[in-house]
Amino acid sequence: MKRFLVAALAVSAISIGGLRAATAPADDRAITHVLNRIAFGPRPGDVERVRAIGLDRYVDEQLHPDRIKDEAMRGRLAELPTAQMSRREIVESIELPQIDMRRERKQQPNGGDADDPKERNPLRQRANAIVVELAEQKIVRAAYSERQLQQVLADFWFNHFNVDSRKGRDRFLVSEYERDVVRPRVLGSFRDLLGATAKSPAMLFYLDNWMSADPAGPHAPLRAARPFQGRRGREPERLALQNKNRAKKGLNENYARELMELHTLGVDGGYTQKDVTEVARAFTGWTLENPRQGGGFTFDGRLHDPGQKVVLGHVIKAGGGESDGEAVLDILVEHPSTSRFIASKLVRRFVSDTPPPALVDRAAARFRETNGDLREVMRTILTSTEFRSPEVYAVKVKSPFEFAVSALRAAGAEVAAGERAAAPAFDAKLLVRRIRDMGMALYQCQPPTGYGDTAEAWMNGGALVNRINFAIEIARGDRQLADTLGAPAFQKR
């Protein structure tokens, strides 16, 4: 163990980009930089391994995760049952029994829980365990997967298409969302990724599109008549507000707005409120089939607004049904604002908080040339002189997740998940709590914006104290290792 730590220390001394790193050979600094960006930092021996195969070849390998062997992951994730379960399995084995139990309880004369609504019961605990297991899975993959870029990008794209597992039923949907919707597509076509998120139960639920309906249609929610409204001198402004709310009832614009602002065009991408409403109309009827039985996407024509829509100047003819939504996604992906917005977000993640404009231009152009081929956009960024420039070494503050995982990797620490967790390995559940204490509750970012990707998003006094304490904890009494992992240089990548 001791020898292991000494070896780890030697590597982390190189990897941290601080004073000692400056004395390392130039190519080792470049390798460390790349490992800090397209991986979650170097483990003991990683710099040597990359040097042996060559940096360019390493980057190319990482761009093709399907060609990288990663067999050890299966065993490491074996004790996290819900992380492998389908949505339907989770719903049937955890959500439905919970609903049944609540119903039975309601029918009992005294309800059984009159005094303690938070009473521990195994079903509730299993439901809570889903998101913890998912977070454990994320830590284990980031710490050990050989497909490091894929894990980095899964983190990036989940955050881009953020859903919060705490919203209603989303906790039952989010495992599948990350595993089957996001991760397989992070180096594929952006249009495919966008379409898959649009039809995912997790997103349909999170941004409310599943309940959005044509206000004039047969299934618009019934509104109680309010004949006495306005009596007793209500001020006109409030009355107007209420009328506005009433007019909107049925049509839900949440998904339409975030689709343009956060998923594709960006906030200054050139759309209007009128476009938001038109897009929302196009997506009416994109809903869930039997949501309570774990059903997936379905198109329900009875909720759909069949009229003509005009989106960003493009006419979508009346009567298109389900294809209206697909037409909107095509329009958005082909809009130049989308290529720029996606390119600048990726460059901010991989290069600098202030993305070099020339690189954003080239990455955006590549996005347009390849119809949004994310592997080619990534290749443009990762082979650019801007990305490889020593000026951008260690300029990014790590997110709490990145910090925690890079510390585990640098220390060569063992992590174990689920029932496998036993000393001396660190229990992944404990790490989930530590990362939360540093300000990042995994899968629980409330706004659809996702977490921020700049230094100011992560640095505050309480979080920094917890980061330093985490370094001390991981070092397990090794003062020198604690100093390395808790140092200012190790906060950056």
- Can residue 105 be called a binding residue for another protein (CB under 8 A)? yes
Residue 397's SS3 state is strand
Please select the residue that binds another protein; options are 182, 439, 443, 493, rule is CB under 8 A: 439
Interface residue with another protein among 3, 69, 106, 120 (CB under 8 A) is 106
Our finding on whether 166 is near another protein (CB under 8 A) is: yes
Contacts of 460 (CB under 8 A, 6+ apart): 439
The answer to whether 264 and 272 have CB atoms below 8 angstroms apart is no
Give me the numbers of helices (H) and strands (E) for the chain, helices first please: 26, 6
Residue with Cβ nearer another protein (173 or 363): 173
Q: Taking contact as CB under 8 A, which single stretch among the options 114-122, 145-153, 184-192, 407-415 is the one that binds another protein? A: 114-122
Q: How far is the CB of 68 from another protein (least distance, A)?
A: 34
Minimum distance between the CB of residue 209 and another protein, rounded to whole angstroms? 13
Pick out residues in 459-488 that bind another protein (CB under 8 A): 459-462, 464-465, 468-469, 472-473, 475-479, 482-483, 486-488
> Considering the rule CB under 8 A, would residue 441 count as an interface residue with another protein?
yes
What 3-state DSSP class applies to 189?
strand
Closest CB to another protein among 58 and 403?
403
| Listed ranges 30-38, 327-335, 337-345, 446-454: which one lies at the site for another protein (CB under 8 A) | 446-454
Q: Taking the complex as a whole, how short is the minimal distance between the CB of residue 67 and another protein, in angstroms?
A: 38
Nearer to another protein, 80 or 259 (CB): 259
H/E stretch holding 82: helix 81-84
**Do residues 318 and 306 touch, judged by C-beta distance below 8 A?**
yes
Distance between CA atoms of residues 424 and 411, nearest Å: 13
Q: Does 178 bind another protein (CB under 8 A)?
A: no
CA distance 234 to 246: 17
The rounded distance, in Å, linking the Cα atoms of 322 and 306 is: 10
469: Cβ contacts below 8 Å, ≥ 6 apart: none
Minimal distance in Å, beta carbon 18 to another protein?
9
Q: How far is the CB of 493 from another protein (least distance, A)?
A: 12
Tokens of 103: 């119903």
CA–CA distances in Å: residue 185 to residues 64, 77, 339, 419, 443: 12, 21, 17, 30, 19
- Choice between 65 and 450, CB closer to another protein: 450
Record the tokens describing residue 140, joined without a space: 């284990």
What is the number of residues in the chain? Answer: 493
CB nearer to another protein: give 319 or 452.
452
Touching another protein, residues 229-288 (CB under 8 A): 232, 241-242, 245, 249, 254, 257-258, 261-262
Examine residue 424 and say whether the peptide bond preceding it is cis (omega within 30 degrees of 0). Answer: yes
By CB under 8 A, tell whether 122 contacts another protein: no
224 binds another protein (CB under 8 A): yes
Task: Please give the backbone phi and psi of residue 234, each rounded to the nearest 5 degrees, phi first.
Answer: -60, 140
Return the number of other C-beta atoms located less than 10 Å from residue 350's C-beta.
25
If you ran DSSP here, which 8-state letter would residue 384 be given?
A: S
Size of site (CB under 8 A) for another protein = 66
Nearer to another protein, 425 or 465 (CB): 465
Q: Which of 25, 168, 357, 390 binds another protein (CB under 8 A)?
A: 168
- Could you count the other beta carbons within 10 Å of the beta carbon of residue 490? 24
Mark residue 304 as left, alpha or beta (left: phi above 0; alpha: psi -120 to 50; beta: remaining). beta
Output 14 or 475, the one with its CB closest to another protein. Answer: 475
Half-sphere exposure of 61 (CA within 13 A, CB side): 15
Binding residues for another protein restricted to 18-47, rule: CB under 8 A = none
53 or 459: CB nearest another protein:
459
**Min dist. Cβ of residue 258 to another protein (A):** 7
Residues 371-430 that bind another protein (CB under 8 A): 397
Copy the structure tokens of residue 486: 């808790």
Binding site for another protein (CB under 8 A): 105-106, 110-111, 113-115, 117-118, 164, 166-168, 207, 223-228, 232, 241-242, 245, 249, 254, 257-258, 261-262, 397, 436-437, 439, 441, 446-449, 452, 454-456, 459-462, 464-465, 468-469, 472-473, 475-479, 482-483, 486-489, 491-492
